Amino acid sequence: MQESSKEITNIDPILYELFEFKPRKGDLKKVEIMKAAIVSLSTLGVEKTSFESIAKLIGTRRAHIAYHFSEKHDIYKGAIKYILATYQQVLMEQLSHAKTGIEMLERYVKAGFSWAENNPNQVSVLLLLGYFCSIDEEYLELNHLVKQKGQERIYFILMDQLDKEISSKDARSLSVTIQNLTSSSIQDCYTTKGLSLKDTQKNVLTLIRKII
């Protein structure tokens, strides 16, 4: 579970500004703890994830975990921010290769499915975010910010990048629809039997092309 500084800096530092999550040299241990928490939550579950289980994964003592995080939910929130930053990195990489507006929309969808395929443990933990949002205002605010930023990105594509005119009202509505369709479809692949990411991505892309 060792993290190298190279692995940490692979994530766009601009995203750390967005999520107030800025890895510095002294933060590398925190990131290691967050990644261990992701493994623990996705394999042992919430009830069995503890300072001890996280410490065991990285070969340290409980006290060392408590030195960096006073409560488990501080670790959870940090882990979720790390996951979101990882997803954003995949998204920005995908969008950087788009040459047309419709390709930008398609790559937005593909980024989510690519992230999910390569980071199943992260998907498992992110599914907890919905539950935490219902009991903790900080999780709700974080999720609201992420969804808002995603919708703004899609809105920009619809208004400024497509070769067709769409009203601002319709673009707002489509932004929410495309975002929810993508995220809920990925979630279905992990919570419903018989669904594959590949086939579901294809279906989502087909539907989006029909509604644009």
The pLDDT > 70 percentage for the chain reads 88
pLDDT of the residue at 99 = 94
pLDDT band at 206 (very low <50, low <70, confident <90, very high): very high
Question: Which pLDDT does position 23 carry in this prediction?
Answer: 54
**Following DSSP, what letter does each residue of 25-72 receive, concatenated?**
GGGHHHHHHHHHHHHHHHHT-TTT--HHHHHHHHT--HHHHHHH-SSH
CATH H-level, domain 5-211: superfamily: Tetracycline Repressor, domain 2 (1.10.357.10)
DSSP states of 100-159 as a string? SHHHHHHHHHHHHHHHHHH-HHHHHHHHHHHHHHTT-HHHHHHHHHHHHHHHHHHHHHHH
Residue spans of the domains in the chain: they are 5-211
Q: What is the pLDDT of residues 6-44, one digit of tens each?
A: 344 444 443 444 445 555 655 778 889 999 999 999 999
Tens digit of pLDDT for each residue in 30-82?
A: 889 999 999 999 999 999 999 999 999 999 999 999 999 999 999 999 999 89
Percentage of the chain exceeding pLDDT 90:
81
Which residue did the predictor score with more confidence, 4 or 83?
83
Residue 204 has pLDDT above 80, yes or no: yes
Confirm if 108 and 182 have CB atoms less than 8 A apart: yes
- If you search the block for the tokens 């673009």, which residue do you land on? 171
Mean pLDDT, residues 157-180? 95
pLDDT of residue 85: 86
